[in-house]
Structure 1
């Protein structure tokens, strides 16, 4: 019975391979009473299926909070990896279960697990599903804003591709690099492809480069349809000089990054810029 303290986990090292078990099924379905009985009867909480999915993966994927708690208390490996390299925290972020994410972090789950060539970070997964509360929690725990996935780019790329404006806002306010590029494509390119005026507005306010060219030598504006709100906003940004307030905001953000106080108002920004220029 594996209910004691868990030992460090290494991929493929648990040594108890089987098809999907009753423990997996109970965890997936949220059958807490059945899961408790299985654990008390000596069932392993770290048994893995042929794809390396553990019961904890199953419970997190479905947001089964009670089952996650039972498994963790029984010694489930919090950093176990499935065949794709995803941890239970990745699954919890994908499902959007804030309580599961909190439990996992409390039990030592890493907000920044080591990434493989095929692995997205927990922050990527939260952005993929538009789970902004999970994004906020991960950011507060020091999740890497610039974690890079070869298929998706940074979490900000993912949030823009999926058109999750609230996640975009959280990332930008935390200091994510607005002009990060994957194959020369910036988050603004993705927002333009989606014709997402709200995301485009957020990116431009945080200093997105409207002139950036991707691997096809196309700017964000080239991906919009003429006459649409997103196209008009991008063209207006290109043809209109930034105001002092906008310049002040960008200056503060560029210099302070995530330390820039969120309480700064537009009325204060010009004074802050003048103060900065005078004393730096």
Structure 2
């Protein structure tokens, strides 16, 4: 599929996307979730690909607000599923930001790119930014890149930690995200330390986060915590206390299995408590790895 370039202010929209306007009636109906009005406009021949001055299409508007019925109408009428706004975001980015599973599924059914060509945030970044862990799980299952970098935070894991969304971070880590991925040498642990979130720090260390990693300024995570705070004490403890052989063994197994770890571990002939430990879950149940 050919990648559409961002249209210039004075040019026609490439590939028949539509034409410039301040804001059309189709935009308004899509943004407000006015299904009957939108249906009437489409029936009367209104363009579903009309583009506002910020390159936002009606499909963007519907996804931003999570109006799944409007999304379905627009897609069925030929709306371009991967249209980009002036920031480079696609409707799938907006649906992930809104946390709308139904809109995401509709877009994917119509061929939306899970990993659009490189630009600021990916759909997975947006889901992490909003703290929508179910959307994060869905995007990962659809093949979203967990190591894609944005222009500010870094990977989706960096975003989840910077925004203190522990559930999203856990989903990413359990799916095999690189806990020590770095942007300017800064890791997710650096972000967790900056927001002084002890639970995030503990989670990242459990998954192999390197407390001794230095960023581009030569600072370790502990240097970003307030001296004497709970986060600083936690990082000091992890720096001075070697990981147990049990923890090292779990990390080695998870690294070796990668993204298939949960599925493979669930099939091992092991006691439930060991499976629970390997899957980083609290309840030792037989289906714990599939959660």
TM-score (norm 1): 0.89
Matches of 2:24 and 2:277 in 1, distance apart? 63
* Alpha-carbon separation, structure 1, partners of 2:277 and 2:197: 29
Query: Do 1:9 and 1:79's aligned partners in 2 also have CA atoms closer than 8 Å?
Result: no
C-alpha spacing 1:10/1:242, structure 2 compared with 1 (3 Å):
closer
Query: Once superposed, what is the RMSD of the aligned Cα atoms?
Result: 2.0
Deviations 1:74-98 (A, max 9, x none): 1100010111111000000011111
Q: Give unmatched runs, 5+ long, in structure 2.
A: 7-12, 279-291
Residue matched to 2:203? 202
**Alignment partner, residue 286 of structure 2:** none
2:157 counterpart of 1:156: yes
* TM-score w.r.t. length of structure 2: 0.86
Match of 2:20 among 17, 22, 25: 17
C-alpha contact 1:245 1:269 (8 A) present in aligned 2: no
Give distance in 2, aligned partners of 1:189 and 1:104: 35
Match of 2:75 among 72, 76, 79: 72
2:38 is aligned to 35
- 1:75 to 1:56, Cα distance in 2 relative to 1, 3 A: same
Of 215-224 and 135-144, more deviation after overlay is shown by 215-224
1:267 maps to 2:252: no
Unaligned 5+ runs, structure 1: 1-6, 272-280
**Residue-by-residue CA offset, 1:198-255 (whole Å, 9 max, x unaligned):** 1111100111110011122111111112332222221221122211220111111121
1:232 corresponds to which residue? 233
2:53 maps to 1:46? no
User: Match of 1:25, SS?
Assistant: helix
Give runs of aligned pairs for residues 131-146 of structure 1, distance below 5 A: 131-146=132-147
Q: 1:154 to 1:42 in 2, by over 3 A?
A: same
Matched, 1:247 2:254: no
